[in-house]
């Protein structure tokens, strides 16, 4: 199984676990999964979020306004790049769990 396939496999397992309401260990036991592998891939997926610092961001009093975008649902091979007019830039792994991405974006002001 290629690395990207492993990430997709474990991302799906993590989503299933979150919906299950079970502890991680109980979920792994029920599904016949190795808990160390489950935990390794959970931590690895989390660590794939990278914030790229930019130089001297201008101070602004403007509120951040999110605008609707159209997403391509085809499999993505690259990173996700978010850039603001104010100058900040965030790079996310394309394999990032959509739940984590949603939580991250919900924290923006």
Task: Give the pLDDT confidence score for residue 72 in this predicted structure.
Answer: 55
Task: Give the pLDDT confidence score for residue 2 in this predicted structure.
Answer: 66
Please give the radius of gyration of the chain, using alpha carbons only, rounded to the nearest integer. Answer: 17
* pLDDT over 90 (residue 103): no
Residues 6 and 41: beta-carbon distance below 8 Å: yes
Residues 29 and 36: beta-carbon distance below 8 Å: no
**89 vs 35: CA distance, rounded Å:** 35
Q: What is the pTM of this model?
A: 0.43
Q: Which of 108, 72, 71 is nearest to 90 (CA)?
A: 108
Share of the chain above pLDDT 70, in %: 67
**pLDDT tens digits along 45-98:** 776 544 455 555 556 666 667 776 655 555 556 677 777 776 777 777 777 777
């Amino acid at each position: 199984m290629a690395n990207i396939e492993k990430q997709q496999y474990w991302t799906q397992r993590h989503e299933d676990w979150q919906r299950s309401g079970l502890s991680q260990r109980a979920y792994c036991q029920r599904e016949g999964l190795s808990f160390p592998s489950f935990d390794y891939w959970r931590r690895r997926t989390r660590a794939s979020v990278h914030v790229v610092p930019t130089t001297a961001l201008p101070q602004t009093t403007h509120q951040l306004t999110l605008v609707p975008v159209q997403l391509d649902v085809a499999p993505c091979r690259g990173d996700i790049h978010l850039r603001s007019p104010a100058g900040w830039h965030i790079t996310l792994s394309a394999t990032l769990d959509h739940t984590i991405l949603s939580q991250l974006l919900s924290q923006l002001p």
